[in-house]
Structure 1
Amino acid sequence: MTISTSHDNAATAARDAIDRLLAAGELRLGARQRDRLAALTRIFGPAVLVDRGGFAAKGGVVIVVEPPTGPAAERFYRSLSSGMAVAIPFGENPAFDFLKSKLTDFGTVAPCGPEAPHALWWGGLGWPSLAGRLPGATPPPLIVSCYPRETGEAAAQHLERAAARLDLPAMIAPVDAVLGDRLLAYEKADFILGVWQAQRRPLLFVDTDATLIEPPLLPSRLDCDLALHKWNRWEMSARTLYVGATETAGAFLRNWRHLAAAFPAIWDGYALDQAWSLTSSQQPLDTVWLPRAYHAPGGEWPGRTMPHGAVIVHDLPDTNADLGPASDLAPILRGARRASRVAGRETLIALRAPAETAAGVTVIVRGIASVAARHLAASIEAVAQTFANDPGEFDRLEIALCPWDDDAAATAAAAAAGGHRLIEITPPHAVASDLFSARAQTRPAAVIALPRTGARRTS
C-alpha cells in the first residue's frame, strides 16, 4: 500500500498544471520534459507561455516558443529577475542561440521519441538564483574516483580525507593502467560504469587531485540523469561527472566507454561530448550543466585560498590547455555546445522501426533560418511521426538540422558512409504520409529534395 504525501500531491498538481498549459499552447513535450518543467514550477512558481510578440517575463517559469532577436531579446532579458527561469521547448533550433547566450544554461532534456522530437532547454540569470531555492534534504551521491595503481595509494589520500571530513560516502580504487602512471579515457569510463552497475545509485566522479570544499549536492537535488561542467561553455570536462541511477544514465556510460575504447587516442572530454550527443539522440537524457563552482581551477588561487561558494576545486591552471590538447579541436561543435544543443552535422533524434531490415535513412532539414520556430518544430514532428506510422523498408531514421550548406554536405557524407538513403526537406512544406514507404530500397539511391532557399555559412 502506498501512502500519498504532500510532496507527491504537490508534484502531481504541478505536472497537471504544466500539461494544461502545454495543451493550451499546442506544444508537444515528452514525459521527462514535462516532469522537468513541473519541477521548475515548484521551485520558481507558475509557468507562462511567451509566443510571438510582447516579450516580457511575467511568471516564475517563462516558456519561450518563438525566438526574440535584437531589441526584443534585450527587453526580454531585462524583464527577467533572479526568481525566474526560462524554458525553450524547441531548444534544438539555432534561432534561439542568441537568447541563450544572454542567459546561464542550467540544463537540457533530450528529445523524447516520435511524439516529442524536441530538446527542452532551461536556464536563467545565474546559478545562485537556482541553487538557493533547491530542497535541502537530499542524500549525497557516492563519491567515486580512480588512479593508476603504479602511482601508489598516496594519490587517493587527499580525496579520501576530504570525503571523510564532509561525511560523504566514497569509493576510491586503483586501476591497472595500460600507460602505467596515466589513465586513458576508456579506463576511467570503464571504472565508473563498473561502480554504477554494482551500486545502482547516484555517483559523482571526481579526479583524485580534486579538493572537496562543500558537499556536492546540487545534481542530486535536481534529480537528473547526468551533470557535468562545460569549460568555456562548450568543452565538456570529465574531471567532475555526476551520473544518476537511471537506465538512461547507464546508456550514457556505456556509450562513453564504447567510444573511448574505439578511439583511445582522443582525449576524454571529446569522447564525453560525442557520447552525450549519441545518447541524447536516442534517449531523453536529462542533463544539468554544472556551474564553475563544481569545476574551479586551483590555478586561479595560487595561495590556495578558496573563493566563497566553491564546491570542487581541481589542481589545474586557469587555462583550457589541461582539458583539450588543441584549442582548435572540433571547432564546429563550439557554437552548438555553447547553446547546449547538438550541432547541424550531428543527429537530433534517431528512431528505430520494429522490423530490422538493415536499411537506414537520414532526413536533412534545411531552410531553418527563415522559418518560424513552430513551423520548423511541426516539420520535425511530422517526419518523426510519419516514420513511426509507416517506415517503409527502413528500420532506422536519423534527423539532422542543417542551416548551412557545409553542414548538409557533411551530414550527407556521413549518411553515405553509413549506407543510409538521404532525404532533404524544407519547412514549412508538408510531409507526405508515404515519405518513407514510397522510396523502396530496390530503387537507386538518390537525394529527394523539396524546394528550398540556399544558405551558405558566412563566418
Structure 2
Amino acid sequence: MRDATQANLDRVLQSGGIKLGRAQHDRLGWLVGQYGAPTLDGVPNGRHNGVIILEEPPSGAAAELLYRSLNPACAVVIPRSENPGFDFLKSKLTEFGTVGPCGADGPHEMWWGGIGWSRFLAAADASTLRPRIVSCHPRGGDETASLRLRHSLERLQLDCHIEPIDTQLDDRLLCFEKAEFMTRMWNTYREPLLFVDAGATMREAPLLPSFLGCDVALHKWNRWEMSARTLYLGRSARAERLLRAWQQIAAAYPAIWEGYLLDQAWSLTSSQVPLDTVWLPRSYHALQGDLGASRATILHDQQTTTLELGPDPGFAGIVRAARRAGRTGARDAFMVMTSKAETGGGIAVILRDISASDAAAVAATVEAVTGAYAADCGGYGRLELSLCAWQDDVGAAREAAGLARYRILEIAPGQRIANDFFAAHASDDAVMTARRRFS
C-alpha cells in the first residue's frame, strides 16, 4: 500500500513537472500519509480528505473559492512558494511549515498549510518522542519564575535542564547568552531540545514539534516576527546549522535584539540547506491575558513587545511581507550553492520582476540557473540567487553582492539560460581583465 501511495505521488509530481529535493519529498510523502491522496491544482468536493498541490498562484476569486472548499481533512502544498503571487492564499490559511530549497535537485521553497491545527494537535498526543525542556535565567535574580516552570515540568514528567547563568545584565538575557546556552545544551544532550523562557509555565506536554519531525519549530507573533521564547531544535545536522549560525550572528552583533537575529539566522540557513521549519501555533506561545490562554500548551508570563525585534523600524520593512508568507525576503539570498572550484570567487544572480511575470517563467528560470551552475560553475565557488519583485529590491541585492565582492548578473524571467551560462560569463570576465592589464 505504501509503495502504491508513493508511486501515485511521484506520478502527480511528474505530471506537473515539479522538482523536489529529498527533504521536500519526504515532508510531502509524510503529509500524504496523514491526509490522503494528492491532487494537482484540484478543488476538493464535499468533506473529502487529501493533499492539494498548487502549481500556479490563484487569482483573488479563485483563492477565495479554494479556501471555502477546504476542511480540516485537507492540506495545501505549494512547491514553488517563493513566488509572491501565492501570498494572498497563504494569508487565508493556517501556515504549518516550510522546507527550504535543495539546490539544483529541488530549487524551490515548499510551503504547507491548511485549516487549523486541530488534526495535528490531536495526533501529537500519541507521540512517544519527547523533547528535553531547557531554560536559563540570570544568576542572582529572582528564581520564583524558574521554580514555577520546573514544577510544571515535574507535573508533566518531562525531562528538563534549568540553570542560572552569568549574564551581562542582571534582569535579562542577551541573545548571544541564550544562543551560547543552547549550543552547550546541544552538545550535552542527545534528544530534541525545546527552549522556553524561564518565566513560562507548561500546561500540557509540548509534543507537536517532535511528532511533526521537523528540524526547527518556532512561533511568529503577529505572523511575521520570529520569537526565541519558544524554540525547538530536532536532532538533525540542519538544526545544528541553524543554531551555529544564530550563535555566530548573535556574537557578532550583541546589541541587536534576538528576534531579528534569529530571523537572519533562519534566512541564511534556509538559503543553504533544505531546513524543515514548523511555524508553531499560538498555543505554544500564549501570553497571560490571551483569549485562549486557558487552552495553552506553553504560557509566557510577559507581554511581547517590539523590543524583542529591535528599536529600528526599518527592520519591519525588510522582513515583514516575506515572513508573513513564510518566504525568504528579497533582500536575502533565496538560494546559495557552492562548487569545488579552487578560485573561491562568488557570483550573484539577481532575478528581477518576479511579481510582474508568469509564475511558470519564474520557476523555469530558477531551475535553469541552478541547473546551469550544477552542470558548469564556470570557476565560481559560490552562487547566490536573489529573487526581486521591485527595483529597490534589486538595488539592495546589488549592494549586498557588491560588499561581498561578487560578480553580479541581473536576469529576467523567461530569459534563456544555457548550460554554459556561468562559463561564458567567466570567459568574458577573463577577457576584460586581460584587456585592462595590457591597456
With the shorter chain as reference, the TM-score category is over 0.9
- Checking the alignment, whether the CA contact within 8 Å between 2:371 and 2:419 is kept in structure 1 is no
| Alignment partner, residue 290 of structure 2 | 300
Q: Which runs of 5+ in 2 are unaligned?
A: 434-439
| Alignment partner, residue 30 of structure 1 | 21
- Checking the alignment, whether the CA contact within 8 Å between 1:55 and 1:73 is kept in structure 2 is no
Name the amino acid aligned to 2:265: A
- Checking the alignment, whether the CA contact within 8 Å between 1:48 and 1:59 is kept in structure 2 is no
Name the amino acid aligned to 1:442: A
| Alignment partner, residue 245 of structure 1 | 235
How does 1:138-153 map onto structure 2 within 5 Å? Answer: 138-151=128-141, 153=143
- Checking the alignment, whether the CA contact within 8 Å between 2:20 and 2:79 is kept in structure 1 is yes
- TM-score by length of structure 2 reads 0.93
Deviation at 1:46, TM superposition (A): 1.0
More helix by share: 2
- SS of 1:351 mapped into structure 2: strand
| Alignment partner, residue 436 of structure 2 | none
- Checking the alignment, whether the CA contact within 8 Å between 1:55 and 1:72 is kept in structure 2 is no
- Give 4+ residue runs of structure 1 displaced > 6 Å after superposition: none
Separation in structure 1 between the aligned mates of residue 16 and residue 209 of structure 2, nearest angstrom: 30
- SS of 1:354 mapped into structure 2: coil
Deviation at 1:27, TM superposition (A): 0.7
| Alignment partner, residue 437 of structure 2 | none
Deviation at 1:443, TM superposition (A): 5.0
| Alignment partner, residue 367 of structure 1 | 353
- Checking the alignment, whether the CA contact within 8 Å between 2:91 and 2:325 is kept in structure 1 is yes
- Checking the alignment, whether the CA contact within 8 Å between 1:33 and 1:109 is kept in structure 2 is yes
How does 1:226-245 map onto structure 2 within 5 Å? Answer: 226-245=216-235
Counterpart selection for 1:49 from 40, 43, 52 = 40
Q: Which runs of 5+ in 1 are unaligned?
A: 1-8, 446-459
| Alignment partner, residue 408 of structure 2 | 422
Deviation at 1:375, TM superposition (A): 2.1
Task: Indicate yes or no: 2:394 matched with 1:442.
Answer: no
Counterpart selection for 1:407 from 378, 384, 393 = 393
Provide closer, same or farther for how the CA distance between residues 208 and 329 of structure 1 changes in structure 2, counting only shifts above 3 A.
farther
Name the amino acid aligned to 1:397: L
| Alignment partner, residue 6 of structure 1 | none
| Alignment partner, residue 200 of structure 1 | 190
User: Which shifted more, 202-211 or 136-145?
Assistant: 136-145
- SS of 1:245 mapped into structure 2: coil
Counterpart selection for 1:315 from 292, 301, 306 = 301
Separation in structure 2 between the aligned mates of residue 378 and residue 270 of structure 1, nearest angstrom: 32
Separation in structure 2 between the aligned mates of residue 136 and residue 41 of structure 1, nearest angstrom: 19
Task: Indicate yes or no: 2:358 matched with 1:358.
Answer: no
| Alignment partner, residue 208 of structure 2 | 218
| Alignment partner, residue 455 of structure 1 | none
Name the amino acid aligned to 1:17: N
Deviation at 1:320, TM superposition (A): 3.3
User: Which shifted more, 431-440 or 96-105?
Assistant: 431-440
Per-residue displacement from partner, 1:46-90 (whole Å, max 9, x unpaired)? Answer: 11111xxx7556751100110101211111111111110100000
| Alignment partner, residue 165 of structure 2 | 175
Provide closer, same or farther for how the CA distance between residues 188 and 242 of structure 1 changes in structure 2, counting only shifts above 3 A.
same
Name the amino acid aligned to 2:33: R
Task: Indicate yes or no: 2:73 matched with 1:113.
Answer: no
Separation in structure 2 between the aligned mates of residue 15 and residue 138 of structure 1, nearest angstrom: 26
Deviation at 1:91, TM superposition (A): 1.0
Deviation at 1:433, TM superposition (A): 1.9
- SS of 2:277 mapped into structure 1: strand
Name the amino acid aligned to 2:308: L
Provide closer, same or farther for how the CA distance between residues 14 and 174 of structure 1 changes in structure 2, counting only shifts above 3 A.
farther
Name the amino acid aligned to 2:311: A
Per-residue displacement from partner, 1:353-399 (whole Å, max 9, x unpaired)? Answer: 11231310011111212333222111101101111111112100000
Counterpart selection for 1:265 from 245, 255, 258 = 255
- SS of 2:348 mapped into structure 1: strand
Name the amino acid aligned to 2:417: V
- TM-score by length of structure 1 reads 0.89
Per-residue displacement from partner, 1:244-269 (whole Å, max 9, x unpaired)? Answer: 00010000000000000000011011
After superposition, the CA RMSD in angstroms is: 1.9
| Alignment partner, residue 101 of structure 1 | 91
| Alignment partner, residue 114 of structure 2 | 124
- SS of 1:85 mapped into structure 2: strand
Deviation at 1:134, TM superposition (A): 4.5
How does 1:16-95 map onto structure 2 within 5 Å? Answer: 16-50=7-41, 60-95=50-85
Name the amino acid aligned to 1:424: E
Deviation at 1:191, TM superposition (A): 0.8
- Checking the alignment, whether the CA contact within 8 Å between 1:379 and 1:427 is kept in structure 2 is yes
- SS of 2:423 mapped into structure 1: coil
Separation in structure 2 between the aligned mates of residue 325 and residue 355 of structure 1, nearest angstrom: 39
Separation in structure 2 between the aligned mates of residue 82 and residue 153 of structure 1, nearest angstrom: 42
User: Which shifted more, 152-161 or 86-95?
Assistant: 152-161
Deviation at 1:159, TM superposition (A): 1.1
- Checking the alignment, whether the CA contact within 8 Å between 2:49 and 2:73 is kept in structure 1 is no
| Alignment partner, residue 209 of structure 1 | 199
- Checking the alignment, whether the CA contact within 8 Å between 1:150 and 1:181 is kept in structure 2 is no
Name the amino acid aligned to 2:325: A
Counterpart selection for 1:328 from 297, 301, 313 = 313
User: Which shifted more, 15-24 or 35-44?
Assistant: 15-24
Provide closer, same or farther for how the CA distance between residues 165 and 66 of structure 1 changes in structure 2, counting only shifts above 3 A.
same
- Checking the alignment, whether the CA contact within 8 Å between 1:204 and 1:242 is kept in structure 2 is yes
User: Which shifted more, 40-49 or 221-230?
Assistant: 40-49
